[in-house]
Structure 1
Amino acid sequence: MNTYSRMRRAATLAAIALTAALAVTACGSDSGGDDDTRSSESSGSYPVTVDSAYGQISLDKEPERILVMSPSYVDMLSSIDIQPVAFATGAIPAADFDSNYPWLAGRYEGEVAPELVTSEFKPSLEKIASYEPDLILGHTWTIPEDMYDDVSAIAPTYVSTDDGSATTEWTVDMKAVGELTQQTQAVDVVLADFDAQVAQNKERVAQLEGRTFNSVAVREAGYQFGSGGWLALLGLTPGQTQGSYTDAPLSPENLDQLSADVLLAYVFNDSDQAKLESDPRFAELPASKNGTVIFGDPAMANAATFPAPGALTYLMDETVPSLEASTLNKAGQ
């Protein structure tokens, strides 16, 4: 997979109806508890060294101008009361950022800077350098290996090893952010809140434990698999027919193969949802009969693609109430 294909797809979710490589991610909690539970001072000392995708990086002092190359780090940093100086949005204009990432609205103070990424979906070295960062945070699909030396020459650069294949990989990044900022105690609070939030939501849908899910984006060519792995922390498992986002879309005539107990369908306009619901076979799907069909919008797709505490809390807030009220969940109560 091209190193920038995930970024290109995620950055244009609304326009291209989820051609994003929607990550298989975890579910998570809110921003991490009350401010008085966190230390406002560093919980360790420098220098500090952490592992990243392209090798270890070291900081000699506390970073004061952190620049980030994806919204997930804005989420992580704000959850421990740290603000980046600027952050990339992919191809999403600054004016549209809050509507595409509503869980971050009001949580950031740094500049929304789409220009950190070029029209070729590569890091803009000139724009990055203009912010005079002392720490850069990114992923392999925002900072490819062949540009790492150039980016890290501007400032120490942490690159996540998360390729979207692990349900808890974002917590590795969260802990690394804690080490780099020496806010490990604050991160521990965030992760403890995450565990508590997951446990509470899992209890609300206890009768879905072990049930299966299909997760697809509704596209003209059919149904593109992806972006549902975070449901695993609610006790759900992939259905037999659940594919990967790298697979070819399921053709419309095979709609009946979406046979899991729960169906998460990302739609990007009213006509796509109406077309799906008007298909007579849709009403016969197990999820339709169970009352467990969830329609997701571009913001939900972004939340699944860029996992972090606020994003994952947003996903649970958007999905757990309807799952809790479903016939399938209530049947065993």
Structure 2
Amino acid sequence: MRPTRRIFLAGTSALALAPLLAACGDDAPGESGPQGKAAEPEKSAFPVTIKHKYGETVIKQAPKRVVVVGLVEQDALLALGIVPVATSNWFGDAPGRIFPWATDLLGDADVPKVIDPANGIPTEEVIGLGPDLIIGLYSGMTEAEYKILSKSANTIAQSGKYADYAEPWQESTLTVARAVGQPEAGQKLVDGADAKVAAAKAAHPEWQGKTAVCVTPYEGLFVYGPQDPRGRILQELGFTFPEQLVDKGAAEFGYSLSEERTGDLAGVDVVVWLDYDGAPAGMKAIFEKTDTFAEGRFFDINDSDGAYYVGQSFVTPLSIPYVLERYVPQLEAAFDGDPATKPPVVKN
């Protein structure tokens, strides 16, 4: 099943709505339970003013019921000791959309309810959960949705400094931390994940300045651009974005090129495909004529890779160490230009 345009522009690849991680169990019932025990707010953390796309939100005290209408912010909350009342559906069937890199942090708390934003944020459902803080940083929250939600609870929309779904994970993590009164803890969380990325970069000086891109088949060749979290993580590892794939008129975090433009992947040092097996035959025929294909400078991540497939798009301070452990060996194998070197099979 292909996702709607709205959900795809949230970052899903063409097959991302296929069931994933079903072994984790079913979603919990809709009742929202008590949250985990959060750390005490840091001194002078409140009141705090959060600026965003639709104005600013003043939070006067630590929230007790947080609903996540963005797609990934639950990770930052869990890392800070807060279990949200609800999260938003994006990938798979993991209960509460809490994935392996974060499940230990759930503790004995009730699994969050999962809301469905496929046709927009279900504002009535969100309000009915009785939140005192609504977070939608990695989201496409509209102004109309913000106005409805903000009448009932403190609501934080995407920053507006970037395209929707393009805010760097570092900034969104710090914003979540400020909103719940833990800015110093948030900074430590960011620093820890950044250190993991920096270590991987330092271990691979041969990647510096070489090109890499993440693509998927969707309305032609969909390119995750330099603003996208998938593109940014490659840049943070030392790669650069291929000039021949830049769409200077693109206002989104990614964009579709014509199927024929698949030939522009020639000369790219590493191509990371999402769901290559789902590509049309014509697209595969074009790609398989490139030197990138002939030299084995590519690999595919798809839903058979389970949690790793999720984590490659679900870029958070908790998922990054989990993903790097699997991603770096695949990048190494593809980068060497020897088709006999096969990227390792991912084991979840």
Same fold flag (TM > 0.5): yes
| Alignment of 1:229 onto 2:250 | no
Aligned to 1:122, the other structure's residue is in SS state coil
**Correspondence for 2:297 among 282, 287, 292:** 292
Aligned to 2:133: 135
What are the Cα deviations for residues 17-62 of structure 1, in whole angstroms up to 9, with x where unaligned?
89xxxxxxxxxxxxxxxxxxxx932212322222122112112211
2 CA distance for matches of 1:93 and 1:82?
A: 21
- Partner SS for 1:294: strand
Q: Can you give the 5+ residue segments of structure 2 that lack an aligned partner in the other structure?
A: 19-37, 225-229, 248-252, 339-348
The one of 230, 241, 244 equivalent to 2:244 is 241
Question: Per-residue CA shift, 1:97-140, capped at 9, x if unaligned?
Answer: 46xx55444544554434353x6x22223211222111110038
Contact 2:215 2:274 in 1 (8 A): yes
Q: Assess, with a 3 A threshold, how the Cα gap between structure 1 residues 103 and 230 changes in structure 2: closer, same or farther.
A: same
Q: Which amino acid aligns with 1:292?
A: R
Instruction: Name the aligned partner's letter for residue 319 of structure 2.
Output: A
For 2:158, the equivalent position in structure 1 comes to 160
* Amino acid in structure 1 at the alignment position of 2:234: L
Query: Could you tell me which residue of structure 2 aligns to residue 310 of structure 1?
Result: 318
Residue deviations 1:211-257 (CA, integer Å, cap 9, x gap): 012321035x6422114332000110111222456543341x55432
Partner Cα distance (1:195, 1:140) in 2? 19
Q: Please give the alpha-carbon distance, in whole angstroms, between the structure 2 residues aligned to 1:127 and 1:297.
A: 32
Secondary structure of the 2:67 match is: strand
Query: Among residues 258, 263, 275, which one is paired with 1:256 in the alignment?
Result: 263
Q: Is the 8 A contact 1:94 1:114 kept in 2?
A: no
Q: Does 1:179 align with 2:184?
A: no
Q: Which residue of 2 aligns with 1:42?
A: 41
**Counterpart amino acid of residue 135 in structure 1:** L
Q: What is the correspondence of 1:111-122 to structure 2 with a 5 Å cutoff? A: 111-115=111-115, 117=117, 121-122=119-120
Query: Identity of paired residues, percent?
Result: 22
| 1:147 matched residue in structure 2 | 145
Distance change (3 Å), C-alpha of 1:174 and 1:247: closer
SS at match of 1:318: helix
Residues 247-270 of structure 1, C-alpha deviation per residue, up to 9 Å, x if partnerless?
43341x5543202111111116x4
Corresponding residue SS for 2:318: helix
How far apart are the structure 2 equivalents of 1:139 and 1:93?
22
**Helix, strand or coil at the partner of 1:308:** coil
